[in-house]
Amino acid sequence: MTQVQQVLFELESDYQGHAYHVTGNALFNALARRVDARARKQLQVSHGVFVPSEYGEYPSAHSEVGYAGVLGKSLPAVENYADLFLYRDAAQRWLLDSRPRDAHNVPDIQSHGGRLAFAPRCWFGRPENVRNSKRSVQWFVQCYVHGGHDDDVLPLDDDVLDGLRVGAARNYGLGELSLKDTQLVELDELDYSRVEDTALNLELVSPFVLESEYPGADGQDVPWWWGVDGELRRRETRLVNGEEVHVLETVDHGQVVDFAGTDAVRTAKNGVLRVGTHAKYGFGEFRLRPAKRDRVPERAVGVGGATS
Amino acid sequence: MTSDVPFESPHEGPESDVDPMVAAFRHDVHKLRGRSHDAAQEVFRDARVNESVPLGADGDAARLSRPKGAPDETVANHQSPRRLSLVTGGTAVASDRIRASDDAPLDWLVLSTDPEVLHSRWLTSEAAAAYNESVYYPYTSLRFHVLLVAALLDNYRAGHEFADLHLVATPSGPLPDEGRTAAAARGSDAVEPFRTVLWSPVMSLHVTGEPGDRPSAPLGSCPARSFADTWSRLSAHPFDQSCRRWRRLDAQLRRVRSWSTALAYIEDYVAVYGDGDAR
């Protein structure tokens, strides 16, 4: 039995931390002071992905099909493996084409004396004859936690999850997260049939650590079961614990390689629980995807095709 | 270096035969003039305009930035050819800076018969940045649509198919003394005729079938709104990752699927946050 607890936070104030994610490390540090020593030792926290709240439709790999109403401000039920990733891709592919999807998926930037922050709402004007002349798109942050080999750590209580503060200037009211929704997911009970018996790609959802300055942390090579053609793009990032700053050399997230391993279902679960150094703090999350199902819908086999 | 006069080769009467690369830069003149495709005129000051672009380059470029099929109105209160900026939320270029009533910027963008001159002008024109590709998709950019059409057409004419093409990202190097003018673009090593689609202080982006060993990512099997996917698969970062404001731009670009919207976002972002002490 391997459980994960999905958590959806509402962003209450400007956020001034890492640009790509609210890191698992930031979320862990915010949670660690609220749980007991055993939970602190076992708790593993994913990176938090920014999610807008807007009308959407489920992607084709999702267990539900078609129009979904408003997504982003609640956690839909998880029945198959792909459902885990609905909100975990920055491109948020469920956004409707009939609305300005790119405008809805780019957070507004606020400057605080030259320091840039993401705003929790983006305002859009409307025609003057509409009664409420403005509407806004609100931002949420989705992450998940699990208890290593100790399932008794979960679920974390609502009052543990509510009111975290993350990012810079959090003592001045920035980076406040309130709990919006949470649910437990049993990984062993999900449907993995789409990743069995087929050629697969592996997509990095969070960075994979190659080198870490953290005391005692091991360096890692790119795993042999990633079919890598050429060099992977790297990115330097930092792990901050109070006054200590540790530089990490990572394989940058968002890249896609071939899956060259064997046991796809077991690997898929490992990708959710994450692999490599600092997996406890969100690094090394990946998703398997059938190679013929391109993540760009128009390019998927049987949908569209070359036109030139 | 060619001088920047609007119209180098005076004609008597309308032009007869137009270089397909020139046609690419003139194919959407009706949008700059606020006219529908059906009401488009064939001649603007003796220059042949609004001709169809060969080899399907126009349709393919459209698919990079807009959904397939019949267009839908996506922004209720903005039935206008003026582009909206994702950075500011408002219209991208203030009216008094494009002089809409006056055809001077249009002459500059349309009348040359040298396609390399036209490329350098579209690459640097603020006036062209004011317009969207379609009133239904106001965050798209006509300027980058036209540059993508030219890049695709040049590659197709060189024998590349769409599936061979790559996005290449390179550092732009120091600012030319005269600034980023059209003449400077033609003299810059950072700019490749037709295939450079963005020349900004933070980086240059090119669409090409010959990526060489530059940082690149394939465009995929067929034209689609794939900017975020292509961008996040680049083989190396084109700009300094130690700088917070560029990491923020990188993070935003991983969210934007429409190509012309993303390219316009880079320009708008650099204009607002590129200088000074923003971080």
Size of interface A-B (CB pairs under 8 A): 149
Q: How far is A182 from chain B (nearest CA, A)?
A: 25
**A103, A294, A304 member nearest B86 (Cβ):** A103
The CB-side HSE value for A63 (13 A sphere, CA atoms) comes to: 14
Q: What ipTM describes this predicted complex?
A: 0.94
Q: How far is A249 from chain B (nearest CA, A)?
A: 12
pTM of the model: 0.93
Per-residue model confidence as pLDDT tens digits over B65-93: 999 877 778 887 777 888 999 998 888 77
Per-residue model confidence as pLDDT tens digits over A289-301: 999 878 888 887 5
A95 beta partners: A56
**Which of B60, B221, B239 best probes binding to A when mutated, by most A CB atoms within 10 angstroms?**
B221
Phi, psi of A219 (to 5 degrees): -75, 155
d(CA B212, CA B209): 9
Q: What is the DSSP string of chain B?
A: -----S-SS--SSS-S---HHHHHHHTTHHHHTT--STT--SEETTEE-SPPPGGGHHHHHHHHHS-SSS----STT--SSBPBPTTTSSBSS-HHHHTTT--HHHHHHH--S-HHHHHHHHHH-TTGGGB-SBTTBTTS-HHHHHHHHHHHHHHHHTT--GGG-EEEEE---SPPTT-S-HHHHHH-TT--TTTEEEE-SS-EEEEES--TTSSEEE--SS--S-HHHHHTT-SS-SS-TTSHHHHHHHHHHTT---HHHHHHHHHHHHHHHSSTT--
Token pair 């406040």 is found at: A176
Question: pLDDT at position A229, please?
Answer: 81
**Whole-number percent of chain B with pLDDT over 90:** 63
Contacts of B221 in chain A (CB under 8 A): 294, 299, 306
**B84, B220, B276 member nearest A114 (Cβ):** B276
Per-residue model confidence as pLDDT tens digits over A9-58: 999 999 999 999 999 999 999 999 999 999 999 999 999 999 999 999 99
* Cis, peptide link before residue A155, omega less than 30° from 0: yes
Q: Contacts by B111-114 with C-beta closer than 8 Å and gap 24+?
A: B111/B6, B111/B7, B111/B44, B111/B45, B111/B47, B112/B6, B112/B7, B112/B8, B112/B22, B113/B8, B113/B9, B113/B15, B113/B18, B113/B19, B113/B22, B113/B47, B114/B2, B114/B8, B114/B22
Q: How far is B108 from chain A (nearest CA, A)?
A: 30
Q: How far is A284 from chain B (nearest CA, A)?
A: 16
Q: Can you state the percent helix, strand and coil of chain A, rounding each to 5?
A: 20, 35, 45
CB atoms A298 and B139 under 8 Å: no
Structure tokens belonging to residue A261: 């391993």
Contacts of B274 in chain A (CB under 8 A): none
**B221, B242, B255 member nearest A91 (Cβ):** B255
Per-residue model confidence as pLDDT tens digits over A81-137: 999 999 999 999 999 999 999 999 999 999 888 899 999 999 887 656 666 667 899
Q: How confident is the model at residue B276 (pLDDT cuts 50, 70, 90)?
A: low
**A126, A304, A306 member nearest B162 (Cβ):** A306
Q: Per-residue pLDDT averaged across B209-221, rounded?
A: 96
Contacts of B162 in chain A (CB under 8 A): 306, 308
Contacts of B152 in chain A (CB under 8 A): 308
**Whole-number percent of chain B with pLDDT over 70:** 90
- Position B102 pLDDT exceeds 90: no
CA nearest to A229 within chain B:
B235
- Position A308 pLDDT exceeds 50: no
